[in-house]
Amino acid sequence: MVPVRMSRTGQGSNSAQLRHFNERIVLQALRRLGEASKADLARAAGLTNNSVGGIIRDLEALGLVRDIGKKREGQRGQPATMLTLDPAGAFAIGVRLDRVGIEVVRVDFGGRILARRGHDMVLPAPDVAVDLVTRDVESLLAEVPPAERVRLAGIGVAQPFNLGSWLRELELPSSSFKLWDDFDFAEALGRATGLTVFAENDGNAAAIAELFYGKGRQIDDFLYVFMGGAIGGGLVMAGDCVHGVTGNAGDIAMMPVPGSRLPSAPAPTRPFDVLLTRASLTALKRHLTWHGIEAESLAEVSEVLARRPRPKAVSEWIDDCVAALVPAFLSVVSLIDMPHIVIDADVDGGLLNELIDDLDRALEAASPESVRRPLFFRGSFGPEAGALGAATLPLFFNFSPRSSILTGAAGSIRETHHAAE
Amino acid sequence: MVPVRMSRTGQGSNSAQLRHFNERIVLQALRRLGEASKADLARAAGLTNNSVGGIIRDLEALGLVRDIGKKREGQRGQPATMLTLDPAGAFAIGVRLDRVGIEVVRVDFGGRILARRGHDMVLPAPDVAVDLVTRDVESLLAEVPPAERVRLAGIGVAQPFNLGSWLRELELPSSSFKLWDDFDFAEALGRATGLTVFAENDGNAAAIAELFYGKGRQIDDFLYVFMGGAIGGGLVMAGDCVHGVTGNAGDIAMMPVPGSRLPSAPAPTRPFDVLLTRASLTALKRHLTWHGIEAESLAEVSEVLARRPRPKAVSEWIDDCVAALVPAFLSVVSLIDMPHIVIDADVDGGLLNELIDDLDRALEAASPESVRRPLFFRGSFGPEAGALGAATLPLFFNFSPRSSILTGAAGSIRETHHAAE
């Protein structure tokens, strides 16, 4: 019998963890409500007025919550002091590494991107990337008044899992990518900057942005899908991002699907093809090229997608993409009983609405007896999802009420500490 | 836009919940260690010696933990008092409803089945079943000395999701099953017995038995698969059973797979077939019949499976079953990053070992670049899994450290209260 990794759960909890958790529950309630009185928050969080009062005092002192004046609720009674999150109370730096670009952004506590640096380039060797990103981080921090820099929650890094894989399907050169497979970028960036770095794969990071700042303010359970050069995803269950034992839960790119019916698709090398080969903008571009339509940049692809009447190449790819997504989503529904799917994309031109309509129709035809169809939603951030997701990691990790705070259980974002003090 | 179910998470926690949780963490540590000193438990649970001392005093008073004498640890030092769970400290009744049988068992806190009642029959109409099971519960309770009856943790009911569905694939008459689709058996049984009833679908219940009394004592994350007349499953992540929004997470029976290659299989009615049609003992029996081999009962099927040389009909079905399980398991690995799969079955005759070997080989051939293969394990309880799973529900619900105790979050077993007092 093979050796088994021993349990990581099973740790008790204490009252410091409890206070910590309740503070975050109050922040969450305020993030969801937008503005609220202490009584509203106590009701929403299931806490006593007293403990909410103490928590709000602390959060105000930290600058995370501010008073926006009194408001009368209903017809009678005293007007209540209304509270809201202060966007200036914290900020984070996000680094999105992609196979074809690097983006570095500064984001406030309200989830707004305040500044950015970008590099459109095939990802360079790891040490070159560390230097580049370190300079960007320094320049983004230099714009922040020195007194405000203590509000930095940390740096978040989002990068595709296994950068050196799937290069054939993504039509990329293999040269420098292989160097990335054994390179710990978050660790190197932590060392270079002296700051705390949080890392997740790009699908989970974008899902966390959607959870913290997007649809997650209304729904607690969704599969998040991002259609980019590759297809990425993340899994939100009971209000938390499911990390998975190796950090790759929600990696729908690798889900098995039948081979593509498009003549432009590469022949599968194994009994099943993977979703990545069919449902990705790389597959779309490949099919456009096969039809003699050149569209290299995302802007060019969006332009082709927006053409009316729809080019035949686009319709053919959408059909093939939907046919590939149907068994993947049927698996999601039956395996994790998932009622909602949020889809976002790096382009638009009407693509998302059409995908959602077609998927809805195709799932109606394909869903087995007694299996409910999921509801589809458009994602909130489009091409910003990756960079915002990266920057959300430190904010989510520091300010979200994850049950692992209480239990010490699995599922935490990987964190590299390099105290700046 | 469609209406959205509002968030159920977001509740704060308090110190009573905390004590509650830590008690269960100590019980879990003791269940995993078998026997342990207070110092061992404090170490395993990450709690202070003081708080473990207080918790143990309470658990001893409740009869859940007992002292088994002193033992010297290592060469030096005072011998320490060793503790163990007391199997007599609690008990539960489990009711397993199946399309072709009813089983009612009494199980102790150690997970041992002490007594049982069984009915091999196509499931009767709901009201008839309630009467039958109520009489069995009463007769099982009558065997318990009156003073001990207060130790009853409750009744657990495990039944397939949507009993009235999939009758064609399972070769069953539709007559009485349709009545079950809108019938709340747990509620009716609670009313008839005046006892608290916990309900889960059969796959989740068996997974919970494996989590509480089987492999879950060593591993925190596994997909549980049970091969019976249908195929069932449950999902264990971070040491808890994932219930799912409608209670059907882990329902792998409905996962989409390509159509069967066996001439005995019914033609699929939709673009994809479901795993149920190919990977189930019903599919095996159908294929045996097609080859002229009659095997009606589980004992007869086991006998056919044990024949050497292996009948051609059996090998053909195993190949088709493995071919259907491969895409399902590839989906599980990529979607939820699942490292372990536990498989159990209602029969043996060498089936489980052969399935596991074949699956391992087939997944090696089919796994995409950079995707890890899961490790397979045999389940712990075989044909007992269903009934033990049902009885485990009240014990798990009352004595397992689920993080939802602290957070009030989603995922609890459905519970029907009918206080007996």
B309 preceded by a cis bond (ω within 30 of 0):
yes
What B75-80 contacts at long range (C-beta under 8 Å, 24+ apart), as own/partner pairs, is: B80/B37, B80/B38, B80/B39
- For residues A343 and A379, what is the distance between their CA atoms, to the nearest angstrom? 5
Quote the crossing angle between the two packed helices B281-290 and B298-306, to the nearest 10°: 70
Position of tokens 């309880």? B381
pLDDT tens digits for A161-213? 877 777 777 777 766 788 888 899 999 999 999 999 999 999 999 999 999 99
pLDDT score of B374 more than 60: yes
CB B278 within 8 A of CB B265: yes
Asked if the Cβ–Cβ distance from A254 to B368 is below 8 Å, we say yes
Judging contacts by C-beta atoms under 8 Å, the chain B residues touching residue A2 are 375
| b/e A203-221 (16+ beta carbons within 10 angstroms → b) | bbbbbbbbbbbbbbbebbb
Query: For all residues of chain A together, what is the average pLDDT?
Result: 90
Chain B residues with CB under 8 Å of A333 CB are 254
Residue with tokens 């300010």: A399
pLDDT(A302) > 50 = yes
CB contact under 8 A, A9 and B238: yes
- The first and second tokens of residue B242, run together, are 């994932």
Query: Band of the pLDDT at A114, cuts 50, 70, 90?
Result: very high
Confidence of residue B206 (pLDDT cuts 50, 70, 90): very high
How high is the pLDDT of residue A3? 34
Q: How many CA atoms within 13 Å lie on the side-chain side of A90?
A: 24
Q: Choose the closest CB to A10 out of B29, B166, B271.
A: B29
CA of B412: which chain A residue's CA is closest? A238
Nearest-Cα distance to chain B for A21, in Å, is 7
Compute the mean pLDDT over every residue in chain B, rounded to the nearest whole number.
89
Quote the minimal CA–CA distance from B292 to chain A in Å. Answer: 30
Return the DSSP state at A322: H
Tens-place pLDDT, residues B242-293: 999 999 999 999 999 999 999 999 988 787 899 999 999 999 999 999 999 9
Mode of pairing for the β-strands spanning B222-227 and B197-201: unpaired
The domains of chain B, with CATH numbers, are 14-85 (1.10.10.10), 89-208+385-416 (3.30.420.40), 218-379 (3.30.420.40)
Res A75: pLDDT: 64
Considering just the CA atoms, what is the radius of gyration of chain A in Å? 23
The mean pLDDT of A28-45, rounded to a whole number, is 93
Contact A162, A182 (CB under 8 A): no
Closest residue by Cα to residue A108 from A379, A399, A416, A405: A399
| Closest partner CB to B410 (pick from A6, A220, A370) | A220
Mean pLDDT throughout B188-210? 96
ipTM value, please give it. Answer: 0.90
Q: What per-residue confidence (pLDDT) applies to A8?
A: 46
Whole-angstrom distance, CA of residue A329 vs CA of residue B287: 30
Query: Do residue A370 and residue B336 have CB atoms under 8 angstroms apart?
Result: no
Average pLDDT over residues A240-263: 93
Number of residues that this document lists for chain B: 421
Q: What burial letters (b/e) apply to A240-277, b meaning 16+ CB within 10 Å?
A: bbbbbbebbbbbbbbbbbebbebebbeebeeebbbbbb
Interval A308-318: pLDDT, tens: 999 999 999 99
Amino acid at B66: R
Which range, of A137-141, A283-287, A339-343, B24-28, averages the lowest pLDDT? B24-28
How many CA within 13 A on the CB side of residue A69? 1
Q: Which residue of A has its CA nearest to B239?
A: A9
C-alpha to C-alpha distance for B79 and A339, rounded to whole angstroms: 55
Q: Output the pLDDT for position B368.
A: 82
The chain B residue lying nearest A407, using CA atoms, is: B403
Beta-carbon separation of A255 and B330 below 8 A: yes
B12 versus B69: which is more confidently predicted? B69
Q: Is the pLDDT of residue A413 over 70?
A: no
Closest CA to A329 of A281, A378, A364: A364
Report residue B409's pLDDT band, with 50, 70 and 90 as the boundaries: very low
**What is the pLDDT, as a whole number, of residue A174?**
66
**What's the pLDDT score for residue B272?**
86
Instruction: Report the alpha-carbon distance of residue A54 to residue B281 in Å, rounded.
Output: 60
pLDDT tens digit sequence for B124-175: 999 999 999 999 999 999 999 999 999 999 999 999 887 777 777 777 776 6
* Residue labelled with tokens 């009833």: B197
- The chain B residue lying nearest A31, using CA atoms, is B10
CA distances from B255 to A27, B281, B292 (A): 39, 17, 30
Q: Is the Cβ pair A272, B219 closer than 8 Å?
A: no
Grouping H, G, I as helix, E, B as strand and the rest as coil, residue A113 is strand
Name the pLDDT band for A6 (thresholds 50, 70, 90).
Answer: very low
The CA–CA distances, whole Å, from B317 to A31, B311, B354, B355 equal 54, 10, 12, 11
- With helix as H, strand as E and coil as C, how does A224-278 read? EEEECCCEEEEEEECCEECCCCCCCCCCHHHCEECCCCCCCCCCCCCCCEEHHHH
pLDDT for A1 = 30
Per-residue confidence band for A18, with pLDDT thresholds at 50, 70 and 90: confident
pLDDT for residue A375 is more than 50: yes
Q: Model's pTM, two decimal places?
A: 0.91
Contact state of B366 with A8 under an 8 Å Cβ cutoff: no
Mean pLDDT value of segment B317-342 = 97
As a whole number of angstroms, the distance between CA B377 and CA A150 comes to 50
Residues B330-334 have a mean pLDDT of: 96
Q: What is the DSSP letter of A161?
A: S
- Residues B142, B148, B151, B157, Cα dihedral to 10°: -10
Smallest Cα distance from B256 to chain A, Å: 6
Q: Do A12 and B32 touch (CB under 8 A)?
A: no
Contact A401 B410 (CB under 8 A): no
pLDDT score recorded for residue B412: 43
Q: What gap in Å lies between CA B72 and CA B68, rounded to an integer?
A: 13
Q: How much is the pLDDT for B417?
A: 53
Mean pLDDT over residues B216-232, rounded?
95
